[in-house]
């Protein structure tokens, strides 16, 4: 009987591993086992329900059960700790890890214009005037309206319409769609789609000279250990202008020695795929698109940029991240 129980346990664990791997390869999150539901804050009968909750009149927070997921800041955020830094809006911070740890940083001392999970360009030119959305010089994001705020047991969807303003003039219409999946044994998936439409005149964008940053960016919270992984494996050096389809940033973000992190995946439909990236061990993943060469976009023509954020425990190997990326790529191709 002891041998039978032992063999049955081995078979059960093997079957569970196959189910989890199949879910990762084919559809992202898989159904949670009972112990995963309990860890995620559920009652064992299904995934805990998502809900949006106002933090104040500037920020909207998303929860899954009793666990925080992220905050979207639609109003202007300032910091007493950085009185000289400019107020910012239209970004995600905090973004939380699976165990509730804060993954992102805002108003960091070394670059007080960095802001959680955001998208910005150091060079934005309209006509003869150049402004800087990266450091918020002479241009700002401004909330316009909600497009969607849906939340239930199957996931959450947030849709926002913003404008880029130079003085009183709106030069860019921005639509943000975030689709947040339930937590699973592999982690959490967030699909992010940005649509930018120049208004009134063409808009020219480009990144920092010699560094390429300018586009989707994630600034990570303080930690003592940092591991950056790209398709070639662990990256011990900072990358300034590397063409990548994904990159992962992990570290001891839980402040108790446990490791976790997040990867950014670029959709193959992305312009100039794969784009250039900058990665910094001090705490930055930055998709550098269109890169260091200026590119102009005509008024009235929408530009679409799509990404996936994979939030996970531990430090996955490059091959595991590549499998998760391949699942994202195949799913997008079949839609």
Where are the alpha helices (H) located in 27-179, listed in sequence order?
A: 34-40
Residue 204, H or E segment: strand 203-206
In a domain, 23, yes or no: no
- Answer whether 108's CB lies under 8 Å from 219's CB: yes
Query: Does 31 map to a domain?
Result: no
Q: Is residue 166 part of a domain?
A: yes
- Tell me the C-alpha to C-alpha distance, in Å, between residue 20 and each of 6, 17, 48, 186, 289: 21, 5, 19, 8, 34
Is residue 21 domain-resident? no
pLDDT in tens, 201-235: 999 999 999 999 999 999 999 999 999 999 999 99
Residue 56, domain member (yes or no): yes
Q: In the block, which residue shows the tokens 């003592």?
A: 224
Mean pLDDT, the chain, rounded, equals: 89
The string of pLDDT tens digits covering residues 148-203 is 999 999 999 999 999 999 999 999 999 999 999 999 999 999 999 999 999 999 99
13 CA to centre of own chain = 32
Q: Print the domain residue range for 296.
A: 50-334
Number of domains in the chain: 1
Assign 157 to helix, strand or coil: strand
What CATH number does residue 308 fall under?
2.70.98
Per-residue confidence band for 255, with pLDDT thresholds at 50, 70 and 90: confident
pTM score:
0.86
Mode of pairing for the β-strands spanning 226-230 and 233-234: antiparallel
Strand-pairing partners, residue 196, are 174, 303
Nearest residue to 156 via CA among 93, 46, 70, 89: 70
Residue 17: inside a domain:
no
Q: Kindly state whether residue 34 falls inside one of the protein's structural domains.
A: no
Q: Which residues contact 146 (CB under 8 A, 6 or more apart)?
A: 159, 160, 161
With respect to residue 32, please indicate whether it lies within any of the assigned structural domains. Answer: no
How many helices and strands (H and E) does the chain possess? 3, 22
Tens of pLDDT, residue by residue over 10-62, are: 334 444 433 444 444 333 333 333 333 333 333 334 679 999 999 999 999 99
Q: How far is CA 92 from CA 49, 77, 96, in A?
A: 21, 11, 10
pLDDT at 332 over 80: no
**Cross-strand partners of 169:** 166
């Amino acid at each position: 009987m002891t041998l039978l129980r032992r063999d049955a346990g081995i078979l059960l664990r093997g079957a569970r591993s196959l189910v989890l791997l199949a879910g990762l390869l084919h559809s992202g999150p898989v159904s949670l086992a009972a112990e995963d539901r309990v860890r995620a804050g559920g009652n064992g009968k299904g995934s805990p329900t998502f809900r949006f909750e106002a933090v104040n009149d500037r920020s909207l927070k998303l929860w899954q059960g009793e666990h925080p997921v992220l905050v979207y800041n639609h109003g202007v955020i300032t910091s007493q700790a950085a009185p000289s830094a400019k107020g910012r809006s239209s970004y995600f911070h905090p973004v939380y890890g699976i165990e509730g740890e804060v993954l992102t940083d805002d108003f960091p001392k070394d670059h007080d214009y960095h802001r959680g999970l955001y998208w910005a360009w150091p060079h934005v030119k309209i006509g003869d005037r150049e402004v800087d959305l990266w450091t918020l010089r002479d241009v700002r994001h401004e909330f316009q309206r909600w497009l969607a705020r849906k939340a239930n047991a199957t996931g959450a969807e947030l849709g926002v319409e913003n404008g880029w303003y130079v003085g009183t003039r709106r030069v860019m219409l921005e639509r943000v769609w975030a689709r947040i999946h339930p937590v699973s044994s592999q982690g959490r998936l967030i699909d992010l789609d940005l649509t930018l439409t120049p208004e009134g005149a063409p808009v020219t964008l480009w990144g920092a000279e010699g560094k390429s940053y300018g586009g989707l960016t994630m600034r990570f919270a303080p930690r003592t250990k940092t591991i950056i992984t790209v398709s070639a494996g662990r990256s011990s050096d900072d990358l300034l202008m590397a063409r990548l389809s994904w990159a992962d940033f992990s570290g001891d973000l839980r402040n108790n020695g446990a490791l976790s992190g997040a990867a950014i995946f670029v959709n193959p439909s992305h312009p100039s795929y794969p784009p250039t990236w900058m990665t910094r061990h001090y705490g930055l993943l930055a998709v550098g698109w269109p890169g260091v060469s200026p590119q102009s976009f005509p008024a009235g023509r929408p530009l679409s940029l799509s990404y996936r954020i994979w939030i996970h425990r531990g430090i996955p190997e490059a091959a595991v991240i590549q499998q998760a990326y391949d699942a994202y790529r195949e799913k997008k191709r079949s839609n």
